[in-house]
Amino acid sequence: MRIKILHIQVLPKLSGVQKVSLEIFKKLNNEKYDKYILFSDSIGYGDRAECIKEFEATGAKVLFSKLLKREIGISDFPALFELYKLCKREKFDIVHTNSTKPGIIGRIAAFVAGVPLVVHTVHGLSFHKFVKFPIWQFYWACEMIASCFCHKIIIVNKYYLKYFKWFKNKTCTIYNGVDYSKFPTSNINGYVEKHGRVNVLFVGRLDKPKNPLLLLEAARRLRITHPNVHFRLVGDGEYMEQCRRFISDNQLHDYVSLEGWRTNVYNYYQQSDIFAVPSIYEAFGIMFLEAGYYKLPVCSTTAEGIPEVVINNLTGVLCEPNDVDAFTKNLTLLIDNAELRKQMGENGHTRVTECFNSSIMVSEYLKIYKNGIRK
């Protein structure tokens, strides 16, 4: 008997969370599974067409919801009802939600609709030390309530386990992984300076969690003492205009490049020497795996799950979030030490290929699917 599975996401773009669903769909046998994925139809970041193409290539049917939005609002109630009706009509065997908003609405809708297996992957939490306590309480309460409406909770790090003590019987950690066999390999030498300069790369959404403005402040401080450095920020998001303004106000046009959203970022990794993302909260960070594969030492922070991926003083250097002095100091250390960059890059490559491979990740998810659905 065929198994009907729905993944629920928000952003119709190939960023980290969506790539996890994509890797799972690639491994699901088309002769056994009918695959569906649902995105919000109200969000336009990135290359939507490329995202649809990639999922359809796995045999999946791509659905869109005009009511499902990233922000909390009055549309959440009709969105919940819309997802409930979809689950009732299509009679899914598995509904797998990803991230906070679809995780709350989607879990409740699917569970109430009687879906046999409701799975949620926690790719990030909205309650953290950088939000005010009343807001923290609200988001925590939403997550705990929604956690009652599912059969399995997957967490992409061990750091978050402390928040789900009430749900130990249905909680486990599965680290994210990627398929490195698909990566171009014309240059994974690491530590190769281009045209006599050191290239520092940022890849990710230009938003509050990734904290790109701190990276730009570090660039401003380094411009005088290290003129042989160039920063490239690849990504888009709500902080794009603020980043443009900071670069303009501080006359950093020749020192910093805003590359915008790029579907294919591999050439940026291959042309860089250091990977720098000063996140203030980060559940995992698939971009750290991509950087590690291309032998780039990482300059980041100790936020949430990052130390489980990037090992301080082995594959990169970490500091406390929002500490611009320490971050700039760590970045300077890597810029000034080519041999250190090379060694950390080699260590990072070994670690990510051995510990964070998509085959390991997908096999764990398939076990959960098979154990939850006996057909």
- Give the model's confidence band at 16: pLDDT under 50 very low, under 70 low, under 90 confident, else very high: confident
pLDDT value of position 43: 56
Q: Which residue from 88, 84, 118 is spatially nearest to 103, judged by alpha carbons? A: 118
Residue 356 vs residue 126, higher pLDDT: 356
Reported confidence tier of residue 133, pLDDT bands at 50, 70, 90? confident
Q: Look up residue 276 and give its amino acid.
A: A
Average pLDDT over residues 142-160: 94
Domain 3-178+357-372 has CATH 1.10.3720.10: no
The confidence score (pLDDT) of residue 196 equals 72
pTM: 0.87
Residue 82, pLDDT above cutoff 90: yes
What residue type is 69 in one-letter code?
K
What average pLDDT does range 207-236 have in this prediction?
95
**71-96: average pLDDT:** 89
Q: What is the pLDDT of residue 130?
A: 74
Q: How far apart are CA 250 and CA 273, in angstroms?
A: 24
Q: What is the pLDDT of residue 199?
A: 95
218: closest CA among 271, 260, 277?
Answer: 277
The Cα 134–Cα 149 span in angstroms is 24
Nearest to 246 by CA among 268, 279, 223: 223
β-bridge pairing 117-122 and 33-40:
unpaired
Decide whether 3-178+357-372 matches 180-355 in CATH topology. yes
Nearest residue to 62 via CA among 117, 21, 1: 21
Evaluate if residue 126 carries a pLDDT over 80: no
Domain boundaries, the chain: 3-178+357-372, 180-355
How far CA 275 is from CA of 110, 270, 297, 343, in Å, comes to: 39, 11, 6, 14
Q: Which of 26-40, 120-134, 355-369 has the lowest mean pLDDT?
A: 120-134
Residues 228-245 have pLDDT tens digits of 999 999 999 899 999 999
Return the axis-axis angle of helices 240-249 and 212-225, rounded to nearest 10°. Answer: 20
The least confident of 17-21, 84-88, 130-134, 249-253 is 130-134
The answer, yes or no, to whether residue 210 has pLDDT greater than 90, is yes
What does the pLDDT read at residue 195?
Answer: 56
Which among 67-81, 137-151, 179-193 has the top mean pLDDT? 137-151
- Provide the pLDDT for residue 308: 97
> Hunting for tokens 């890797």 — which residue is that?
23
Q: What is the pLDDT of residue 45?
A: 53
pLDDT for 7 beyond 90? yes
pLDDT in tens, 55-79: 999 999 999 988 887 667 677 889 8
- CA 138, chain centre distance (Å): 23
Which of 137, 135, 74 minimizes the C-alpha distance to 105?
Answer: 74
pLDDT at 192 over 70: no
What pLDDT does 24 receive?
94
| pLDDT grade for 48, boundaries at 50, 70 and 90 | confident
Report the percentage of the chain scoring pLDDT > 70.
94
Q: What was the pLDDT predicted at 73?
A: 67
Per-residue pLDDT, 312: 97
Mean pLDDT, range 72-99, rounded to an integer:
90
Identity of the highest mean pLDDT range in 113-127, 174-188, 271-285: 271-285
Token code pair at residue 311: 């090992």
Q: Where is pLDDT greater, at 101 or 339?
A: 339
> What is the predicted pLDDT for the residue at 189?
55
Does the domain at 180-355 match CATH 3.40.50.2000? Answer given as yes
pLDDT of residue 375: 47
- Cα-flanking dihedrals φ and ψ of residue 49, to 5°? -60, -40
